């Protein structure tokens, strides 16, 4: 046997003012969107996920809007012409009928019951249209007619469905905005990592240029000191050579009187000549080595 599950909402006092209607709509929207949080606080088991509940509510709202007659959807629909179902004066209360007793024994209704929503299969738009148009059929039984909706109640249902639809659209827009924010954050992080790599490479390049410049200055200073020492040595040898020439031009008696001076000066001249030749060969070798390295570097770059 199939059981019938109903969604029973709390009664709200009727109001004819626009402010009261907006307050009622805001209260209904807040109840529906905060349902999952309230269910967790109450400790109920088997509750639906918040997103699944919102999707189900949005599906029901779309089907209700699609099945609502066009005369109910019109903006100039008269408000306050009819009272809600449970406050009608010309019909007995539904709690006093056999149908209410049967429904209470089968499944007591609960406001926004997650268990009922979980077992409820969303009806089709055709089923909703049949339900909404049932009030126009005069051949139905009296007790069963209490479950149909008047035009005012259909208008109230239509507005509630629009509230659900708008709330679900805002929820989806919020999710899309969150996804866009996550994507933007990922792009910024990726670009920042690339910037850090660029800054590190630039810093290393500047450090390498500084090291090269310091090494070149050190190498040039060392070469200058070597050249200076060689120049001082050449000056010393040249002075010795001049002294030797003076001694040669002196009388022979003086030269024969001190024969060791001639041999000493000759030895010093030979040593100076050898050092000068070694220095010149070294300079020429360094120049050739630089040219070879420059040619090799050009060959590698090409």
Mean pLDDT of 36-59: 54
Cα separation of 92 and 104, whole Å? 18
- Lowest-pLDDT range, 27-31, 54-58, 229-233? 27-31
The residue that leads in pLDDT, 53 or 161, is: 161
> Is residue 238 assigned to a domain?
no
> Is residue 103 assigned to a domain?
yes
Residue 260: the pLDDT is 59
> Is residue 206 assigned to a domain?
no
Could you tell me the maximum CA-CA distance found in the chain, to the nearest angstrom? 166
Mean pLDDT of 32-59: 54
User: Cα angle at 134 between 144 and 132, to 5 degrees?
Assistant: 115
Overall domain count for the chain: 1
Prediction pTM value: 0.37
- Lowest-pLDDT range, 56-60, 159-163, 165-169, 201-205? 56-60
Q: Which residues 6+ apart lie within 8 Å of 127 measured at CB?
A: none
> Is residue 8 assigned to a domain?
no
Q: Encode pLDDT of 29-45 as tens digits.
A: 565 555 545 544 554 44
Of the candidates 68, 25, 51, 10, the residue with the CA atom closest to the CA atom of residue 168: 51
The residue that leads in pLDDT, 288 or 132, is: 288
- 273-280's contacts with Cβ under 8 Å and 24+ in sequence apart are 273/237, 275/230, 275/233, 276/230, 276/234, 276/237, 279/230
| DSSP character at residue 134 | G
> Is residue 94 assigned to a domain?
yes
Q: Encode pLDDT of 205-214 as tens digits.
A: 999 999 998 9
Residue 27: the pLDDT is 62
Q: Beta-carbon neighbour count of residue 230 at 10 Å?
A: 17
The domain of 102 spans: 18-182
Residue 83: the pLDDT is 44
Q: Beta-carbon neighbour count of residue 114 at 10 Å?
A: 20
Counting Cα atoms < 13 Å in the Cβ hemisphere of 187 gives 6
> Is residue 276 assigned to a domain?
no
> Is residue 34 assigned to a domain?
yes
CA distances for 139 relative to 131, 135, 190, angstroms: 14, 10, 70
Q: Encode pLDDT of 136-150 as tens digits.
A: 555 555 555 566 677
CB 171 within 8 A of CB 68: no
> Is residue 53 assigned to a domain?
yes
CB 8 within 8 A of CB 110: yes
The residue that leads in pLDDT, 220 or 299, is: 220
Q: How many residues are recorded in the chain? A: 302
Residue 91: alpha-carbon gap to chain centroid: 60
Q: Beta-carbon neighbour count of residue 187 at 10 Å?
A: 10
């Amino acid at each position: 046997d199939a059981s019938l599950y109903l969604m029973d909402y709390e009664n709200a006092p009727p109001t004819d003012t626009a402010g009261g209607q907006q307050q009622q709509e805001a209260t209904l929207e807040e109840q529906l969107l905060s349902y999952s949080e309230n269910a967790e606080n109450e400790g109920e088991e088997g509750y639906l996920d918040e997103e699944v509940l919102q999707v189900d509510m949005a599906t029901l709202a779309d089907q209700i809007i699609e099945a609502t007659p066009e005369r109910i959807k019109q903006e100039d629909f008269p408000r306050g012409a009819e009272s809600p179902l449970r406050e009608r004066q010309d019909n007995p209360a539904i709690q006093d009928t056999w149908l209410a007793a049967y429904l209470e024994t089968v499944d007591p209704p609960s406001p926004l019951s997650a268990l009922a929503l979980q077992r409820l299969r969303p009806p089709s738009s055709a089923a909703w249209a049949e339900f909404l148009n049932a009030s126009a059929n005069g051949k139905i039984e009296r007790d069963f007619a209490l479950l149909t909706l008047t035009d005012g109640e259909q208008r109230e249902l239509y507005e509630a469905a629009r509230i659900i639809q708008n709330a679900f659209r805002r929820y989806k827009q919020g999710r899309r905005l969150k996804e866009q924010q996550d994507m933007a954050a990922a792009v910024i992080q990726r670009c920042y990592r690339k910037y850090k790599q660029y800054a590190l490479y630039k810093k290393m390049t500047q450090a390498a240029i500084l090291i090269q410049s310091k090494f070149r200055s050190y190498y040039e200073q060392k070469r200058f000191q070597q050249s200076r020492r060689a120049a001082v040595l050449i000056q010393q040898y040249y002075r010795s050579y001049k002294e030797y020439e003076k001694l040669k031009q002196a009388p022979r008696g003086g030269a024969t009187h001190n024969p060791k001076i001639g041999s000493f000066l000759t030895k010093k001249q030979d040593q100076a000549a050898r050092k000068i030749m070694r220095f010149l060969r070294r300079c020429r070798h360094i120049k050739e080595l630089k040219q070879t390295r420059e040619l090799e570097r050009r060959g590698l770059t090409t």
